[in-house]
A and B are shown apart, each in its own frame.
Chain A
Amino acid sequence: MLDEDYTNDKLAAVVEEEVPVSILDSGYLSSIELKREKIRREYAQLFQFTDRTREVDFISTNNDLNKILPSIGEFFKKEVSKGSMMSLELMEEENDWKTLFINIPIRSGADWSGINEIVDSFYDNMFDLFPTVMEKLNIDLVSHEF
């Protein structure tokens, strides 16, 4: 059973967003969990999350980042990871130093000079257009050699 204080609007949103039945069945569906699930679904084709909630919560509390991250993900998926699944990892240090890293897998034999040019342009564009996002976003190129 759902808690009584859930409004019809919230239930409608659940139906609209097609929240998995398992969550409904659990009998506990907070607005926070709904928001998390929405973000997980939005990013499912682009990123894996390193932790179940840390990265999702960071995204949900940083709207400027949330708005542009899907486009950034699409860009790196096409231009750099070549379809390999990327991951999001939140680095948390003391004094509220928090940065969301996009870990991008690079296959062996990749054209590193080309990749470095892409990354360099990415930094240029982001610092020009979205300086506040750049304070909380970074990328890590993860080489996979076998």
Chain B
Amino acid sequence: MSFDPQRFIDISKELQSGQTEAHYRSIINRAYYGAFGHIRNNLGVLVSDGQSAHQEVYNSLIRSTDRAKQKAGKRLETLFKRRKDADYKHRIEIKAHNCQFCINEAEEIIKLFNSE
């Protein structure tokens, strides 16, 4: 049985018991990858030469004719930006309240993507 990336969101929630900024940054990272992985697997995205998987997934969503998927694409892009900030921008402070927002977003994005 293949791994379900949504389990990363469960890990995000478990990490909420931690109280350090390293926890907060990891929560955002895992929340993003939970949503991204779920959508990528379901879209069956093949990565073109020179393109990133993140960009391929985003492009597939916003160029969809389905409005829910277009919205999922924009919200996933915002979560992607948050994840990049959490991973790489060490001069900005990531606070606990940012985490719940990102977990909620990851779950909402998956709901939007799964809706018909």
A binding-site residues for B, Cβ under 8 Å: 91, 93-95, 97, 99, 101, 120, 123-124, 127, 134-135, 138-141, 143, 145
Contact = CB atoms under 8 A, between A and B. Distances in A.
Interface of B: 50-52, 54-55, 58, 62, 67, 70-71, 74, 77-78, 81-82, 84, 95, 97-98, 101
B81 A135 contact: no
B103 to A, nearest CB: 13
Nearest to B78: A140
Contacts of B95: 145
A141 B32 CA distance: 16
A145 B100 CA distance: 13
Most buried by A among B58, B74, B78: B74
Contact of B52 (A95, A135, A145): A95
A93 B78 contact: no
B55 A143 contact: no
B98 A143 contact: yes
Nearest to B62: A135
Nearest to B81: A91
B50 A95 contact: yes
Contacts of A143: 97-98, 101
Given A138-B78, A140-B81, A145-B97, A123 B55 contact: no
